[in-house]
Structure 1
Amino acid sequence: MIKQDELTGLILAGGRGRRMGGRDKGLETFAGQPLVLHVRERLEGRVAEVLINANRHLEAYRALADRVIADAEEGFQGPLMGIYSGLRAATTPWLVVVPCDSPALPHDLVARLIGSIGRSDIAVAFDGERLHPVVALIRTALADDLGEALSAGERKIDRWYARHAWCRMDVSDCPEAFANLNTEDEKRRLELALQEEVPRP
């Protein structure tokens, strides 16, 4: 069983936010606080350290993480570069990867990933219909292999995962977990849906 001190959490917040008009998605307000804080709550107390991968507004993010790391290479090269940067920065054998814009991830996400990994090197979230490759548990020893793949021009996460022993983590019981938050309308819809789920006194 993987223990807390063997895990580093990585929140991916290094994108351009093009679908939100260029705004920094992780710092967008959702239910009264930045999106990235909702995601951090799923990691806090379950990992040894929480990292945020960001390429702008670094000072704002430093107040929200144990460490902020920029992409190892400039140019907004996508989430696979963010994952590589996290694998390099982690000081533990395992890295839990989550996106900054999924505030409805299950609170037991880390436990689910640990329970799914078995003898695999990578566990990837699966909602019953499709994979969500930016929600994963990855062995940090794969950093050099990913660096080689990136140098060869690879930018597709699923293709890199396919090079290794990977498995699915079932989250089909959490239908809102991967709701898209690329527009203001999508954000408002999820806020309302989650408010309706809160038990009334």
Structure 2
Amino acid sequence: MGDESSVNKMIGIVLAGGQSKRFGQPKAFAKRNGKEFILYSIEALQCITKDVVVVIHPEIDTKWLQRNQLTYIQDLELYQGKGPLAGIYSVMSQFKSEWYIVLPCDTPFINAHLLKKLQLYRNDGCEAIVPSVHGNIQPLIAMYHHRVKEKIRWHLEQNKLSMKHFLPSIHTRYVEINDDDAFININTKDEYDQYIVHNNLFPQASFSKTK
């Protein structure tokens, strides 16, 4: 992977470009059952596609990624610090594919079954396939068609960085998903204690709403 002339049916994207300020250290390398959070996302994607790209924050230590022979990039310089849209656009700009399937690095209960279900909703007119969990849409665990690339760029240049504002501008298919645990993301040490240390999951589970 990495040859811009090649076109893949599907590329996986793991977003690990955040600063993890609330967690106090890079969330990607926190562990559940001895396995790094980021590895849960990578392994779920590898059940769908052999091509996975990790988008990293400049301060992340890349030794772990190199040791695991993972492809990784930083956001394009022009858009660094502009959030998830910048990460998705940066991968689309460097790795050509028909579809891109996106995961964050901090959802250690994610599973390939969920991703396979999203794939079932692909069609020629759809530009994004986004889960909805009890009315909360989850655009960072979703699929995006290559046609949205220039629309993302427009939003970045206009500093319209919210996924909430982006999704209505494209043809989005929302898919109701009932697997609450898969969407749990760990943002703080308190959440780590609740969900990882004490394994206190659904029905107490919570997950991020669209930003």
Shorter-chain TM-score range: 0.7 to 0.9
1:69 is aligned, of 40, 59, 73, to 73
The answer for the alignment partner of 1:166 in structure 2 is 172
Identity %: 22
Deviation at 1:85, TM superposition (A): 1.2
Deviation at 1:186, TM superposition (A): 1.4
Letter paired with 2:50: A
Task: State the number of aligned residues.
Answer: 190
1:80 is aligned, of 59, 78, 85, to 85
> Is contact 2:48-2:112 (8 Å) kept?
no
The answer for the alignment partner of 2:206 in structure 1 is none
Q: TM-score, normalised by structure 1?
A: 0.85
Q: SS where residue 47 of structure 1 aligns?
A: coil
Deviation at 1:109, TM superposition (A): 2.4
Deviations 1:1-52, CA, capped at 9 Å, x for gaps: xxxx51100000000001112x111111222011100111211131130110
Q: 1:175 to 1:110 in 2, by over 3 A?
A: closer
> Is contact 1:125-1:133 (8 Å) kept?
yes
Q: SS where residue 13 of structure 2 aligns?
A: strand
> Is contact 1:42-1:109 (8 Å) kept?
no
The answer for the alignment partner of 1:40 in structure 2 is 42
State the superposition RMSD in angstroms: 2.1
The answer for the alignment partner of 1:184 in structure 2 is 189
Q: 1:64 to 1:10 in 2, by over 3 A?
A: farther
Deviations 1:113-148, CA, capped at 9 Å, x for gaps: 111233311011211220011111001232122112
Q: TM-score, normalised by structure 2?
A: 0.81
> Is contact 1:8-1:51 (8 Å) kept?
yes
Q: 1:93 to 1:100 in 2, by over 3 A?
A: same
The answer for the alignment partner of 1:149 in structure 2 is 155
1:25 and 2:30 correspond: no
Structure 1, 145-154 or 58-67: larger mean CA deviation: 58-67
Q: 1:53 to 1:144 in 2, by over 3 A?
A: same
Deviations 1:49-107, CA, capped at 9 Å, x for gaps: 01100023233323346410101136422111111112223321100001000111232
Deviations 1:152-190, CA, capped at 9 Å, x for gaps: 111111211211100112222x12122231122312322
Q: SS where residue 6 of structure 1 aligns?
A: strand
> Is contact 1:125-1:169 (8 Å) kept?
yes
The answer for the alignment partner of 1:199 in structure 2 is none
> Is contact 1:102-1:179 (8 Å) kept?
yes
Please give the alpha-carbon distance, in whole angstroms, between the structure 2 residues aligned to 1:90 and 1:113.
21
